[in-house]
Amino acid sequence: MSELFFEIREAEEGGYIARALGQSIFTEADTYDEIKQNIKEAVACHFEESDSPKLIRLHFVKDEVLLV
Best CA proximity match to 14, nearest among 29, 35, 25, 1? 29
Domain at 3-61: CATH architecture: 2-Layer Sandwich (3.30)
- Tens-place pLDDT, residues 14-52: 999 999 999 999 999 999 999 999 999 999 999 998 889
Can you give the pTM of this predicted structure?
0.86
Question: What residue segments make up the domains of the chain, in order of their start?
Answer: 3-61
pLDDT above 90 for 63: no
Q: Which residues contact 48 (CB under 8 A, 6 or more apart)?
A: none
